[in-house]
Each structure stands twice: as structure tokens, then as C-alpha cells.
Amino acid sequence: NLYSKEIFLSNLTNIDYMVEKNHYILCMPFIDVKRLYNVRRSILNNKEITIDILTLNENIEKTNEILSCDKCNIISLDKALGGYIEN
């Protein structure tokens, strides 16, 4: 289980969920560039937030490239759901 705390709907526009104050979760199985840029802007405007982005394994590198941010944890959705990942 990724989160041992309750998960709430986010109070931020482009982010889906909130785990605790300033810790957010974005579920994005497919790359949405516009949404990622908006998330990046949110991070730049508020240095205190951390965002976990759940995406497909093959999208991790591109998501990292678009965000180029150390306040984002990009997590493989495949692993989070207990799926099988080929090496």
C-alpha cells in the first residue's frame, strides 16, 4: 500500500488528491502536457508542496523531462497496482 493515511480530494485545480497538507497525488496514466505544465507552475509558486505522480512505466522518463522538478515523485502506476513489469 502506497499510502497509510486517508486520501482526500485536492484543493488544487490540476491535482487529483491530497494525502496531507502540501502532499498531493496526481493520477495520470497518459501524458497530459498541459496539465503537467500547470502542475509545474503550481510547484514553482509554492515551494512547500510535494506531488506524487502515478503514471505508466513507459511515461516516467518523459514526465520527468517535462517537469524537471525535485518536488515530484514519479511512481510507476504498474507497480502501484501490483502489475507485471517486463525488464
| pLDDT tens string 18-57 | 998 889 999 999 999 999 998 888 888 888 888 999 999 9
Reply yes or no on whether the pLDDT at 9 is more than 90: yes
pLDDT of residue 84 exceeding 80, the answer is no
Nearest-angstrom CA–CA distance, 20 and 16: 13
Query: Percent helix, strand and coil across the chain, each rounded to 5?
Result: 30, 25, 45
Task: Compute the average pLDDT of residues 59-78.
Answer: 87
C-alpha cell at 2: 502506497
47 or 74, greater pLDDT:
74
Mean of per-residue pLDDT scores for the chain: 85
